[in-house]
Structure 1
Amino acid sequence: MLIFRQKIIPLELSIIIVNYNVKFFLEQCLFSVLKASADIRSEIIVIDNNSTDGSREYLSEKFPSVQFEWLEVNSGFAKACNRALKKAIGEIILFLNPDTIVAEDCFLKSISFIRSKKDCGALGVRMLDGSGKFLKESKRGLPTPSASFFRLSGITFLLPESKYYSAYYAGHLSEHDINEIDVVAGAFLMVPKAVLEKTGGFDEDFFMYGEDVDLSYRITRAGFKNYYYPQTTILHFKGESTLKSLQYIQRFYAAMHLFLKKHYTSFWKKAVMNLAIGFGRTVAKIRLISMPPNNKQSGLPEAAAIIATQDNFSNLVHLVKHAKPLVAIQGRVAIEFDEEENAIGVIDDLPLLKDKGIHHFIFSEGSLSFKEIIMNVDRFAGKCNFMFHAKGSISIVGSDDSDSRGFFISPAATVKS
């Protein structure tokens, strides 16, 4: 009897996502990831850090192709990522936050770029928050003593395009141009596995925050280059997975201290860094305490219009009627002019509709692609507020800014998320 050894075809991409109590945002994320990985030999690994919002019951049966692992303790982002990394078999690894939405061609374009650059150690992409605002951490410099002091003291925000004073955010580099950068944000961090085999994964001493800075630094020290690649754009709600609180402040600045201790040996550099970190921590606490209560969390809108075809509009109206909390639907916004019948306007009219009292708009994926949705969020940034629904999901999510926790509506919203 002849026994033929089965040829194992390696995967091109392993997508690693760490979840903690953001099941509705992760639902939207996974629908976009499945679309983006449809033509790629890939795997999706989700590590849940002991969520208490019903993530397991809500997500496990909905996404049978996803490899879920449900931990019984929250051991931090770095440990969870490394746990997934040990089982990942893709030639390229993508660490992706759960509160992101990616375009259908995002992975293909990013992988193609990495393969075109033999010296590529890591790749990051252009990121927008839920309101369409460009996230400066899409491209970052190292937290050197001077860069950290200028950023934490607020000088960076007074001179946002300065190469020196805004070095922390690489302010001199255009958000629209491909460039080499020092630090790739962990929200979307794509790395060839061969690079990680040389550098190792995340430093598990970083519980949350700072681990991406540390890994990016080690990648460049190993002789590779990190790239900012704005030829694809993603949405990163950010405020949902990094809710600003006193605990956030403590963890963020503890991570800065850890990076300082690990990578700086000069006495004067440590002194300047300690001064900047201490000053920044104090300012952050004052800002948090003085922030009005209704600004600490995005308020769920009382009403919204839906951007959709007629069929998808009817389905979404039905979902909203059975969802919690209740949101009144103000009408349908058509995609094209020839679909205007029974619509309150077309997508080009969003700013005008806002002037008429419609402040929130729900994008219906299925009526528009994820890529088209992201392009329109970018197009109307600062002019409108948005919510998002992926075809097949039973939730709608949104966030009006990157500093506040996002909001959601769903028939399954019986447990706080």
Structure 2
Amino acid sequence: MDLSIIIVNYETYDLTKQTIESVINHDQPFEYDIYLVDNGSKDGSIDKLKKRFLKESEDGLIKFIINIENRGFAFANNLALQEIKSKYILLLNSDTVVVNNCLEDSLNYMNYHKDVGALGCKVVLPDSTLDKACRRSFPDFNVSFYRMTGLSRLFPKSERFGRYNLTYLNEDETYEVDCIVGAFMLVRSQTIQEVGFLDESFFMYGEDIDWCYRIKAANWKIIYYSDAKIIHYKGASNSKKQNKRLTYEFYRAMYLFYNKHYKDGYPWITTAATYLGIWGICSLKMFKNYITR
């Protein structure tokens, strides 16, 4: 198999259906299959998806993996990764639409660039603006400080201050980056064999950055490839009831990533300032959400 696509569904029938159809309704000139992992949905969405894609399932194009509980994005993807033997693996969010020849062009780039371990395409929001998360630098202390203090927003074209989302670079060019977003993450299977699966300590944020960090540490390149594109209906799959949990997990991911990759390289005072920044902003965000409700 050339490509295996992993899509995680959590109570998003319409969105997941749209994502799958954007793949299978296009004539793909390569062999592929889709692993649809349900993360403990309680709304009947997985039963409807099984019914909608019954033929594709019987033909072996779509394989279903069912979790009885939601144990996070990394855990769900890892279940599929354990079964896949394809040359390339694509993590694809259930709230995306694959545009035109995105998959074919991305695979061709990887085939011609053997030193690339992971590739991310151009990710746009429904209003056609760039989803800034699709090309990033690693969130070391300086990059995170510029982001948290607002300097990155004040000076987006600055090579120094704009590193968080690489806003000083042309979004219509292709280049090497530190990390790409898990909404579309095309990874070489050889690379996964070297660096391992996603870290399940991360529930739904940060696992993509952590994976990219390990991929680069293993001397693979990570590419932002602007010639391929998807549409990301960002946030559409997140229930308003989950706002508190989502906010907490976002900042917990920062804490986990810092502890795993940076803590030993900084003095204690820097670590203390980092913890204060992470949990202080987290508390303010959660309080603001509470007041708003």
Q: CA deviation at 1:269?
A: 4.1
Partner of 2:289: 288
Q: CA deviation at 1:275?
A: 3.4
Cα-to-partner distance string for 1:186-219 (whole Å, 9 max, x where unaligned): 0000001000000001001111100000000000
Aligned pair count reads 282
Partner of 1:102: 98
Letter in 2 for 1:246: K
Give distance in 2, aligned partners of 1:272 and 1:120.
35
Q: CA deviation at 1:284?
A: 2.9
Q: CA deviation at 1:21?
A: 0.9
Partner of 1:111: 107
Confirm whether residue 254 of structure 1 aligns to residue 244 of structure 2: no
Confirm whether residue 16 of structure 1 aligns to residue 3 of structure 2: no
Q: CA deviation at 1:138?
A: 1.2
Seen in structure 2, the aligned counterparts of structure 1 residues 241 and 164 have a Cα distance that, compared at 3 Å, is farther
Q: CA deviation at 1:98?
A: 0.3
Give distance in 1, aligned partners of 2:238 and 2:149.
21
Partner of 1:202: 198
Higher RCO (C-alpha 8 Å, min separation 6): 2
Confirm whether residue 38 of structure 1 aligns to residue 35 of structure 2: no
Seen in structure 2, the aligned counterparts of structure 1 residues 287 and 151 have a Cα distance that, compared at 3 Å, is farther
Letter in 1 for 2:140: T
Partner of 1:277: 278
Partner of 1:147: 143
SS for the counterpart of 1:123 is strand
SS for the counterpart of 1:60 is helix
Give distance in 2, aligned partners of 1:242 and 1:179.
31
Seen in structure 2, the aligned counterparts of structure 1 residues 290 and 168 have a Cα distance that, compared at 3 Å, is farther
Give distance in 2, aligned partners of 1:37 and 1:88.
22
Work out whether residues 150 and 165 of structure 1, in 8 Å CA contact, stay in contact via their aligned partners in 2: yes
Equivalent positions of 1:77-96 (< 5 A) are: 77-96=73-92
Partner of 1:168: 164
The one of 51, 54, 58 equivalent to 2:48 is 58
Seen in structure 2, the aligned counterparts of structure 1 residues 79 and 198 have a Cα distance that, compared at 3 Å, is same
Equivalent positions of 1:8-407 (< 5 A) are: 11-36=1-26, 38-64=28-54, 65=56, 66-242=62-238, 245-264=243-262, 265=264, 266-267=266-267, 268-285=269-286, 287-289=288-290
- TM-score between the two structures when normalised by the length of structure 2: 0.91
Q: CA deviation at 1:19?
A: 0.8
- TM-score between the two structures when normalised by the length of structure 1: 0.65
Give distance in 1, aligned partners of 2:139 and 2:249.
16
Give distance in 2, aligned partners of 1:39 and 1:269.
51
Q: CA deviation at 1:243?
A: 5.2
Give distance in 1, aligned partners of 2:38 and 2:176.
33
Q: CA deviation at 1:271?
A: 3.0
Partner of 2:59: none
Q: CA deviation at 1:278?
A: 3.0
Question: Which has the greater radius of gyration?
Answer: 1
Give distance in 1, aligned partners of 2:26 and 2:188.
18
The structure in which a higher percent of residues are helix is: 2
- Bigger mean CA offset, 165-174 vs 217-226: 165-174
Work out whether residues 28 and 104 of structure 2, in 8 Å CA contact, stay in contact via their aligned partners in 1: no
Q: What's the Cα RMSD here?
A: 1.7
Q: CA deviation at 1:273?
A: 2.4
